[in-house]
Structure 1
Amino acid sequence: MKAIDLTYTIKEEMTVFPGTEMPKLINTSNYEKDGFRETSISIYSHVGTHMDPPAHIYPDRTTLDEFPASQFIGKGLVIDCRDLNEGEDITLDCILKYGKKAEKVDFLLFNTGWDKYWGTDKYFGDYPCVNDDVLDYVLNGNYKGIGFDTIGIDPVSDEKLTRHKKLFKDKDIVNIENLKNLELCGDKIFNFSCCPLKVENSDGAPVRAVAWFE
Structure 2
Amino acid sequence: MVTYPGLPGPIICDYLSREASRGRYGPGVEFQIGKIEMVANTGTYLDSPFHRYAGGKDLSALPLDSLANLDTVVIRIGGGSVRAIPRAAFQDVPVQGRAVLVHTGWDAHWRTERYLSGNPFLTADAAEYLVSQDVRLVGIDSVNIDDIDDPARPVHSTLLGADVPIVEHMCRLNLLPDRDVRFFAVPAKVAGFGTWPVRAFGVVST
TM-score by length of 1: 0.85
Segment of structure 1 superposing worse, 131-140 or 36-45: 131-140
Choose between structure 1 and 2 for higher RCO, CA contacts under 8 A separated by at least 6 residues: 1
1:142 corresponds, among 124, 131, 134, to 134
Task: Note if 1:179 corresponds to 2:170.
Answer: yes
**Root mean square deviation, CA, Å:** 1.6
Counterpart of 2:202 in structure 1 is 211
Mapped partners of 1:160, 1:71: distance in 2: 26
2:40 corresponds, among 37, 45, 54, to 45
Residue pairs, 1:117-156, within 5 angstroms: 117-156=109-148
Contact persistence 1:86–1:126 (CA under 8 A): no
Residue pairs, 1:41-80, within 5 angstroms: 41-73=36-68, 74-80=70-76
Mapped partners of 1:123, 1:211: distance in 2: 23
Segment of structure 1 superposing worse, 171-180 or 159-168: 159-168
What secondary structure does 2:53 align onto? Answer: coil
Counterpart of 1:27 in structure 2 is 14
Mapped partners of 2:193, 2:15: distance in 1: 26
Counterpart of 2:27 in structure 1 is none
Instruction: Please report how far the alpha carbon of residue 127 of structure 1 lies from its aligned counterpart in structure 2 after TM superposition.
Output: 2.0
Tell me the amino acid that sits aligned with residue 101 of structure 2.
L
Instruction: Please report how far the alpha carbon of residue 31 of structure 1 lies from its aligned counterpart in structure 2 after TM superposition.
Output: 2.1
Q: Which runs of 4+ in 1 moved over 3 A?
A: none
Contact persistence 1:86–1:127 (CA under 8 A): no
Mapped partners of 2:15, 2:196: distance in 1: 23
Mapped partners of 1:162, 1:151: distance in 2: 15
Counterpart of 1:8 in structure 2 is none
Larger radius of gyration: 2
Q: Number of aligned residue pairs: give it.
A: 196
Counterpart of 1:3 in structure 2 is none
Task: Note if 1:165 corresponds to 2:157.
Answer: yes
Instruction: Please report how far the alpha carbon of residue 42 of structure 1 lies from its aligned counterpart in structure 2 after TM superposition.
Output: 0.9
Mapped partners of 1:18, 1:133: distance in 2: 26
Contact persistence 1:15–1:118 (CA under 8 A): no
Mapped partners of 1:202, 1:164: distance in 2: 16
Unaligned runs of 5+ in 2: 22-29
Unaligned runs of 5+ in 1: 1-13
